[in-house]
Structure 1
Amino acid sequence: MLHELSSNLPDFKTARFEPGVNIALAIRTRSTASKDSRNAVGKSSMLRVLDFLFGSDARSPHVLRNVALEKSTYELLLDLGENRSNVRRSIAEMKFVEVNDGSGPVSLPNAEWRVLLGQELFGLTGSELEPSFRSLLSYYLRDVGSGAYAGRPIETFRKQRAMDTQRPLAYLFGLDLELVAAARNVAEASRSAAELRRAARDPIMGMTLGRSAEIDAEVRTLDIRRRQLEVQVSDFRVVEQYSQHRRRADELSREIRLLNDEIYTQERRIADIRASLEDENREQPDHDYVTRVFQEVGRELPQLVERRLEEVHEFHQSVIRNRRRYLENERDTAIQLRDRATSRLVAADEERASTMRLLQEGGALETFLQLQEQLSDVNGRLSELRQRQSVVDRWENSSRHLQLEAAKLEIDISTDVQERSEDLESIARIFSDFAYEIYGSDRPASLVIEPSKSGYSISPTIGGDQSQGVRSIVMFCFDLTLAVVAKRRGRGPDFLVHDSHLYDAVEARQVASALRLANEVTEREGMQYIATLNSDALERAQAEGINFDFHQCTELTDEYESGGLFGLRFN
């Protein structure tokens, strides 16, 4: 149980708790202006101070991080195990908590303090299947700032996933934590598969992933290329001075082209000279023509003319001989040039053939390195494709596998629920009895714990209209049921704390009935119920004629300077 909440702040409103129902009352003063509100007197802040002493991080904008409270220290006297311990924690040194069980103060890191609280208040053993201490405490000390009073009773903060509520609730209700862990694994796998399916439907992502058959075809093609490259790399022989040999082969090719041109040119020249020589032999002039003409007309050539014709004939023969010798010399020169070019052509061709054989049998070091790089690129691409293929195969098979896993899990949970039917019936009966105490037979109530595809489905309901007031009473009955069941099983503390926000929309008669029920349950179960409440709400509840006992643990007012919880005013 909790016994006393205090602070080093001079005007802090110390709260002293007793067994049973404890109410921190907010009272309006006559001098308060109409624009002021009791929402600022510190009712919710008192719960946040308690939460701070139970190890919360108190991250900004937590009320205790206000500069006006930077030197404040808070203390809580409570029962831990068999000892009554005093807990002290300051804003200046938030990472440590001082604990004194009567044998002297001990400073603990906040993380170790949480572990100790988990062991002492909830019986946690440190198993990886167990929930965290803070997730369990959030059902006993709901934070209005986190939206703990705005959602379903099974939730302790806004937009909390149902899966995240299962582990703490299963622990407090005594359900199978291994099945909860299995359900969580299936749910996470299903969520991942769904995200992958959505991504695959995206045109860009779909092209990135591909289809299994398409990837398989590409893998096979690349594998053939890989084997070819491996053979080339294995058989490759690096040729020394490869680039020089390559350049020599190119030079020889250019020289061979020039020699072929030279041989062709000389062949044409030789043919032309031979044709000229043949023409010379065929087209010699007939020097006897003039003598025959004179004879035919009966006249004789003068001797002088004959001598001149002979001289002309001799001169002409001399020219022909000189021209023939010139053509023959030119022919012989052309033949020599042709034969020389032919000889060089043969030599160059043989040298080029030898060089090319050398180049074909091996290659340059750069070429070898390029082959190795290509092989590395192909291996990298193959590895990427095979990983993608594995992802796609898992994705394509995941839906069927997850359906089987979910069906098996649902059968296992159904079996577990059947085996626990008596315990679950007892829990449902406690909830229904609590709701009956408040609403009577007007509103049937049930707390159903049943199997589902995602684990245990826990649904507290009270019939009739679902106004905010009814939903608040559902939460009250659920929290009280949870606290009673967990305490009986040794899995929960003997206190429960509610903020006044829980009662804001509840009718006065139901407020009175809830406080009377809390009075009866805490007395019967040896527990403690703490609530903050506005004085006018308490007055209206008392006016309903329903008797309930309570202890006023502290009084808060809406006076500016000293009436609030901290005894000082700050923004």
Structure 2
Amino acid sequence: MRLIELTADRASFRPVRFNPDGLSLIVGGRSQKEDGDSDKTYNGVGKSLAIALIHFCLGSNKVNAFQEAIPDWEFSLRFENRGNNHRISRNTSRQNIVVFDGQEMKLKDLREHLACLAFDLPSGVDGLSFRPLLYKFLRRGKADYVEAEHTSSDHSPYEKLIRNIFLLGLDVDLVAEKARLNQRLKRIQDSNKSLKNDPVLREFYTANKDVEIELSFLQERITQLEANQRSFEVADDYYQVEKEANDLGIELQALRNRAVILRNAIDNIDKSLKVRPDITPDRIETAYRELGSAFRPETLRRLEEVQEFHRHLVDNRVTRLSQERRRLEREFANKEQSIRALNDALNEKTAFLGRSRALDYFVAIGNEIASLKAKAQKLDDYRALGRRWSDELATTKGAMQQEVLRTNAYLAQIHPRLDEVNGVFKGLSRRLYPDSPAGLTLRNNDGENQVRFNFEVRIENDASDGINEARIFCYDLTLLTAGRNHHINLVFHDSRLFSDMDPRQRAEAFRIARDITARRGCQYIATLNEDQIEGMADYLTEEERAMITANTVLALGDRAAEEKLLGVQVDMHY
């Protein structure tokens, strides 16, 4: 893929026509030269806007600033890919639809189509798609110029790594597999931790009890209830029999109480019958004489009459008590007979109740068994889940260790490829910093994380201004020239890359870009400020200065709105 032309449907817009190979420079000038940061001095003429518009045509997310500040503008980008020319048009007011080679399509479809044109993407690998990979060749904003390995589309260490590994032509499956295993490991660990420590989840499953003990108790209780249930005989008249048994019990108790009373009465009569008068005839006679001295004789009866009365009284008492005893004995016998009959009837009903149950009681037992089984099942699930997670944890950690070994073997195997890439990067860095060690380092990361390799772009010269920019410049050109899995034939750098770069290194950077593009027939596109060109003029030959001028495809200024990219004055933050 190489850029041909950026245009708009407004006559005021200043089209950008890129050279098919070599350098293509967009230069920003300023009428009032000021001291200070050159980026700030030259902002607003449209250099960075050109990059944003190229991204816009190549399927970036919706840009609200475009819709608000320049509504209904349509921008078009022509580009060549593997010998075929294509055109993409996109309207600022209808950004969800693009036109690719005359055919309308959604953004998602455009991105998928461009991915097939520009990259050889493997299937089923997360993190590899057109837009994030494009940023490696077409850095856009400030965040894209912080690290050589990182662009603003990289939202995680995994994404940063797998995109670099992919473009370097290394094994992305190793990177993806470690990320997958680590995600699985973290999911198992988090779930296991939640299961063990989360009070709500643990209370739900176990009521905060020991699983093994509680499960054993529940299983014993279930077995006991099921055995009882099997021996139950459901009786439709259970409650009627139960009422009759209760009535019999009450009646039987009353009879027993009456029998006790009768028995006590008989015993009392027996005691009374055993009692005899202890007054002898002599005592009666003595008493009679004493009475005779106190009363007149005619008032007292004769002794014989008194004794006869006493005998008669005793005989009557014995007769009466004997008769009462016989009556009580008959009643007691009747009560005993009734007690035996009632007791037999009660025993029969009690036996019936003992071997039978009411239907609702039977159902209640069944419900209790079901409830206990549900609790036991939850506990068994809890236990099984813990065991399964323990197995999965061990299996996953084992797989991660196997991946460490596989990665070590892979690193030993790909030394030639790493040497090739490193040779390109070192060759570029030596032209900027001849005395500084440099290289791309790739080491196995065996930690429990999603990063398979520790990957770094190094130029060991931290004291020099612009060293980070040099890393970015050299690395991007390494991907362009020695990278794999892509069909991108351009690198586009914003002027911010050159702001802190020493003028000598800046001049050398453009010589490097000239040489590479001439040798490989690719594009190096950059935006520059006038002062950045002026600053390196002393380090360029006459021919090289002419080269810069000849390859300036667009010069922007601020003396009038017509000199800016849009050709009109617009305040816009994008």
What TM-score comes out, normalization by structure 1 length?
Answer: 0.81
In structure 2, how many angstroms separate the alpha carbons of the residues matched to 1:157 and 1:338? 110
Alignment of 1:149-548 (within 5 A): 149-150=145-146, 152-157=147-152, 160-193=155-188, 195=190, 215-279=211-275, 282-283=276-277, 289-291=283-285, 305-306=300-301, 310=305, 314=309, 317=312, 321=316, 325=320, 338-339=332-333, 342-394=336-388, 396=390, 401-440=395-434, 442-453=435-446, 454-465=451-462, 469-486=466-483, 489=484, 491-545=486-540, 547=544
Structure 1's 314 and 189: CA in aligned 2 closer, same or farther, altered over 3 A? same
In structure 2, how many angstroms separate the alpha carbons of the residues matched to 1:136 and 1:67? 28
Quick check: 1:263–1:341 contact (8 Å CA) kept in 2?
yes
Give the Å deviation of 1:133: 2.4
Quick check: 1:130–1:171 contact (8 Å CA) kept in 2?
no
Moved more, 36-45 or 431-440: 36-45
Quick check: 1:23–1:531 contact (8 Å CA) kept in 2?
yes
In structure 2, how many angstroms separate the alpha carbons of the residues matched to 1:456 and 1:298? 145
Alignment of 1:112-127 (within 5 A): 112-124=109-121, 126-127=123-124
Give the Å deviation of 1:463: 0.6
Structure 1's 373 and 495: CA in aligned 2 closer, same or farther, altered over 3 A? farther
In structure 1, how many angstroms separate the alpha carbons of the residues matched to 2:292 and 2:397? 138
Can you give the 5+ residue segments of structure 2 that lack an aligned partner in the other structure?
Answer: none
Structure 1's 490 and 192: CA in aligned 2 closer, same or farther, altered over 3 A? closer
Residue type at the aligned position of 2:487: G
Quick check: 1:48–1:143 contact (8 Å CA) kept in 2?
yes
Structure 1's 81 and 268: CA in aligned 2 closer, same or farther, altered over 3 A? farther
Residue in 1 aligned with 2:77? 76
Moved more, 490-499 or 286-295: 286-295
In structure 2, how many angstroms separate the alpha carbons of the residues matched to 1:333 and 1:91? 123
Give the Å deviation of 1:294: 5.8
Give the Å deviation of 1:81: 4.0
In structure 1, how many angstroms separate the alpha carbons of the residues matched to 2:502 and 2:190? 45
Quick check: 1:495–1:529 contact (8 Å CA) kept in 2?
yes
Give the Å deviation of 1:426: 0.6
Q: RMSD of the TM alignment (CA)?
A: 4.2
Quick check: 2:517–2:523 contact (8 Å CA) kept in 1?
yes
Give the Å deviation of 1:119: 0.8
Quick check: 1:88–1:99 contact (8 Å CA) kept in 2?
yes
Can you give the 5+ residue segments of structure 1 that lack an aligned partner in the other structure?
Answer: none
Quick check: 1:171–1:491 contact (8 Å CA) kept in 2?
no
Quick check: 1:172–1:485 contact (8 Å CA) kept in 2?
no
Residue type at the aligned position of 1:74: F
Q: Does 1:27 align with 2:29?
A: yes
Give the Å deviation of 1:382: 3.5
Q: Deviations over 1:60-110 (max 9, x none)?
A: xx454652344333221112443211111224433322111xxxx111222
In structure 2, how many angstroms separate the alpha carbons of the residues matched to 1:182 and 1:47? 35
Give the Å deviation of 1:40: 4.5
What TM-score comes out, normalization by structure 2 length?
Answer: 0.81
Give the Å deviation of 1:461: 0.5
The secondary structure found in structure 1 opposite 2:500 is: coil
Q: Does 1:135 align with 2:137?
A: no
- Give the percent of matched residue pairs that are identical in Structure 1 and Structure 2: 22
In structure 2, how many angstroms separate the alpha carbons of the residues matched to 1:555 and 1:339? 136
Quick check: 1:129–1:177 contact (8 Å CA) kept in 2?
no
In structure 1, how many angstroms separate the alpha carbons of the residues matched to 2:148 and 2:332? 110
In structure 2, how many angstroms separate the alpha carbons of the residues matched to 1:80 and 1:122? 11
Residue type at the aligned position of 2:83: E
Structure 1's 380 and 106: CA in aligned 2 closer, same or farther, altered over 3 A? same
Structure 1's 198 and 130: CA in aligned 2 closer, same or farther, altered over 3 A? closer
Q: Deviations over 1:517-553 (max 9, x none)?
A: 2222222222222233333233323343363745334
Quick check: 2:67–2:93 contact (8 Å CA) kept in 1?
no
Quick check: 2:27–2:528 contact (8 Å CA) kept in 1?
yes
Quick check: 2:225–2:365 contact (8 Å CA) kept in 1?
yes
Quick check: 1:409–1:455 contact (8 Å CA) kept in 2?
no
Quick check: 1:13–1:555 contact (8 Å CA) kept in 2?
no
